[in-house]
Amino acid sequence: MNGSVLRENEAKRLNIRLPLLICFAMFAAWQMGMIYFSGQTMSVDGRTPLPVNVDDITVIIAAGYILSILVMIFVPQKIVWTERITCSVALISALALFFPLPPETLISVLYIQFFCCCFMIGFETAIIVGLFTEKTALLHLTAVYGIVMLFVVVLHNGFIDVPFRYFRLFAVAACAMQLVFYFKLPCKTWMRSLKKSDNFTMPKMLFGGTLLWVAMSCFIILFGIAVAETVKPYGVGVFYLSMVMACFFVFLLWKCFDISPLSVLPVLAAIGALGFITAISSLFIPSLGIVSCVLLGVASVCLNLNPLFGVLLAKQYPSRFISPAIIGMAFITVIIHTLLLDAFRDNTAALYTAYLAITVFAVIVFLLIRPYLDYIFRGKHLISEERAAELIAENNEQFHLRCAMSNEKGDKNKERRTDGLESVLVVQEETVRPGGRCHPDEPPPNPKGEGSPLDELSDREKQIAQELMSGLNYNEIANKLFISYHTVNAHVRSIYRKKDVHNVAELIRKIGKLETKGY
């Protein structure tokens, strides 16, 4: 059952061509263009011909985020249709900017644009997580993002003075291109979310660590923009131009040298930490301000890749809460960042130091979860789904048999004693039995060292190693496979001994090397 759900979802994922991906990515350019052209929401000099009320914008942003999260939780299958309707409203409101409307009406039209931007921001992530293949997601989040972010560099008005009439034209074109993408997207195809009856086990540690990294990466870009805005007049432009170059660089590393973006992310976050150190130094040496903008722009690519983590999590545990959780974390970081700005408004050095501390923490968090993400990203299994299902069925049958025996005899301590003996039995299973025969699950001895090094592991050990590398802890593995904690612990010790490793990270690296060699 478990494997069928994952296979069904994988079959629904789409490979999308570059022109359509550019249409989809125009959302990011349109959204950031709205922010920088209004200016009021991020303390940039406003460019619109009318004043925009900051309090009203705050309410609109909050309403957009919250409503999008609710839609993603309760009716995720309707997201494509919701995008078609919302984008149509945005297109109509953009066209209205060309008419000689009264000031009050024109302000209302701008507010509609703001709401559509914030309402649609979560759906962008949901579509990537629910419908894109990893290849399409990586292409979109690196090269395509690099292309469309060039529009943000222009629209922010740091290098080129863009009149409002041109911005109106850009808003119409961006909304129209998005609409083309949404109508090309199948509206009845969507990732199947899990139900309780599917008997999946959520890797809580992996999910928690990934969402914490998502929050930290959101902080990095929020902090970076805040620093860039203080460097006049080109700080924001340099920041986004650096992001563009970094997007293309990450794409080339992946496409030409087969270097996973997961390998690059800790380096990018470390560059962000260096950027905040430079920002602190710029308080005493102002010429370092532009350098900090470059470094922080490069580090901001960490945020771009957040939907990729959603794709990886969905491969392991396809929950409808993945995309809402990612967007919810982004919303929370915006609130926390606002509080930090208020708290350290008069102490810039302390504010930048807080930025630096959070960025260093982000690097640590990512290094902890990266081995599990690497394993999921490779997408290879140590044991076939059919054999894994057979082992689970055997364990389930034995589990219910033990429970029945325990109930019949009324011995409440029998199950505990049985669990205590299972770790001993595991060791016995690994030994060669009289007559030179091995346990049925154990591969025959290979004194000449021929064959795959993975053959050292029994099917049971491969199954447990696979679950361990997927992010499950011992208790979660025990519950999923219908065995005891002690049995899992004994098998893991055996796996570590056979593979000469000491923890999961080392095991994933060693298995990865063996797969790379063709075993």
91 lies in the same domain as 149: yes
236 lies in the same domain as 141: no
- Asked if residue 71 lies in contact with residue 82, where contact means CB atoms within 8 angstroms, the answer is yes
Task: Give the pair of three-digit tokens for residue 118.
Answer: 């914030």
Of 137, 170, 191, the last residue of a domain is 191
**Spatial distance between the Cα atoms of 19 and 34, rounded to a whole number of angstroms:** 23
92, part of any domain: yes
317 lies in the same domain as 219: yes
111, part of any domain: yes
- Asked if residue 143 lies in contact with residue 252, where contact means CB atoms within 8 angstroms, the answer is no
224 lies in the same domain as 285: yes
Number of domains forming the structure of the chain = 3
214 lies in the same domain as 337: yes
85, part of any domain: yes
263 lies in the same domain as 351: yes
Q: Does residue 285 sit in helix, strand or coil?
A: coil
278 lies in the same domain as 135: no
6, part of any domain: no
Pick from 268, 296, 263, 269: which is nearest to 282 by CA? 296
Q: Which residue has the tokens 């297109």?
A: 91
Residues 6+ apart with CB under 8 A from 63: 115, 118, 119
168 lies in the same domain as 225: no
7, part of any domain: no
Q: Which residue has the tokens 């030179």?
A: 436
- Asked if residue 29 lies in contact with residue 342, where contact means CB atoms within 8 angstroms, the answer is no
Q: Does residue 410 sit in helix, strand or coil?
A: coil
User: pLDDT 10s digit of each residue in the chain, 519 long?
Assistant: 456 888 899 999 999 999 999 999 999 888 877 766 655 433 333 344 445 565 677 788 889 999 999 999 999 999 999 999 999 999 999 999 888 888 788 888 888 988 998 899 899 999 999 999 999 999 999 999 999 999 888 877 567 777 778 888 999 999 999 999 999 999 889 999 988 777 788 888 889 999 999 998 998 888 898 899 888 888 888 999 999 999 999 999 999 998 989 889 999 999 999 999 999 999 999 999 999 999 999 999 999 999 999 999 998 899 999 999 999 999 899 888 888 888 887 888 898 998 899 889 888 888 888 888 888 876 656 555 555 556 556 665 555 555 555 555 555 454 444 444 444 444 444 443 333 444 444 444 444 444 455 567 888 888 888 888 888 888 888 888 888 899 999 999 999 998 889 888 888 888 765 454 443
- Asked if residue 493 lies in contact with residue 474, where contact means CB atoms within 8 angstroms, the answer is no
- Asked if residue 337 lies in contact with residue 223, where contact means CB atoms within 8 angstroms, the answer is yes
**Spatial distance between the Cα atoms of 264 and 477, rounded to a whole number of angstroms:** 30
> pTM, whole model, 2 decimals?
0.81
Q: b/e map of 378-417 (b: 16 or more CB within 10 Å)?
A: eeeebbeeeebeebbeebeeeeeebeeebeeeeeeeebee
Pick from 372, 364, 383, 313: which is nearest to 509 by CA? 372
Of 168, 191, 214, the last residue of a domain is 191
- Other residues' Cβ atoms within 10 Å of the Cβ of residue 21: 22
417, part of any domain: yes
State the DSSP code for 433: P
Residues 6+ apart with CB under 8 A from 303: 217, 218, 220, 221
103 lies in the same domain as 184: yes
Pick from 11, 13, 23, 17: which is nearest to 183 by CA? 23
Q: Does residue 14 sit in helix, strand or coil?
A: strand
The secondary structure element, H or E, covering residue 503 is none
Supply the CATH number for residue 129's domain: 1.20.1250
- Asked if residue 231 lies in contact with residue 289, where contact means CB atoms within 8 angstroms, the answer is yes
Of 317, 344, 379, the last residue of a domain is 379
368, part of any domain: yes
33 lies in the same domain as 140: yes
5, part of any domain: no
43 lies in the same domain as 166: yes
**Spatial distance between the Cα atoms of 196 and 201, rounded to a whole number of angstroms:** 10
417 lies in the same domain as 433: yes
Residue 64 sits in which domain range?
Answer: 13-191
Query: Which residue(s) pair with 14 in the sheet?
Result: 132
List the end-to-end C-alpha distance of the chain, in Å, as a whole number: 28
Query: Which residue(s) pair with 132 in the sheet?
Result: 14
Q: What pLDDT does 391 receive?
A: 59
